[in-house]
Amino acid sequence: MGVVAKRSSMTYFSDARDHYSHRVRIVLAEKGVSVDIIDVDPKNKPEELAELNPYNALPTLVDRDLSLYETKVMMEYLDERFPHPPLLPVYPVARAQSRLWMHRIEQDWSPMVDIIVNGKSKEAAAKARKELKESLLAIAPIFSELPYFMSEEFTIVDCCLGPILWRLQDMDIEIPNTKQSKPLLEYMERLFARESFQESLTEMEKEMRL
């Protein structure tokens, strides 16, 4: 194993188009963390990345001697390392519930996005596109109750869901403006208007919603 130079500041190796990379960028922006963001082409990764991450995968967060390569771990680490503003609830029950929602996004929606964006089968992509749209429309009414995802405050769960919603147009998924979908559309507007969300966007991501 080669020797990796110790970094004096936090470094984030990010895929400029990837929704997993995006979620951590939102947390970094929300916290106002001073970080060196390196956009990496997933097809042309730097040799250094393999030294930092045993999976040679994106994204990867490096904080001095610490290398993190799982996005939920990165987000929780950042929330604990930079406690203001808090992105996870204080109370154990609410914290556990937030983690379960993150897990459900990871299990239910993220794989559909991956199939649509990276899948080689048009049939599989069309099926995933239909299922994701139907699933989002089914939960749309919950956003009429609270301003954010099951919360009065912007949380780490919104950091996971926001990048998926931002990519809907790019994935050829149109949410119709109906009475049922209106709370979801308003939530999206609220989310995308946040200063941290706008700061988190790469040039490639900005082009996804022109």
| Cis peptide bond N-terminal to 59, omega within 30 | yes
DSSP H helical ranges for 105-167: 110-118, 122-139, 156-166
Segments making up each domain of the chain, as ranges: 10-81, 92-206
Domain 92-206 -> CATH class:
mainly alpha
Residues of the chain with pLDDT below 50 are 1-5
**E strand or H helix that includes residue 100:** helix 92-104
Does CATH place domain 10-81 in 3.40.30.10? yes
Model pLDDT for residues 133-181, shown as the tens digit of each residue: 999 999 999 999 999 999 999 999 999 999 999 999 999 999 999 999 9
> Quick check: do 10-81 and 92-206 share a fold?
no
pTM given for the model: 0.93
**Could you read off the pLDDT of 83-93 as tens digits, one per residue?**
999 999 999 99
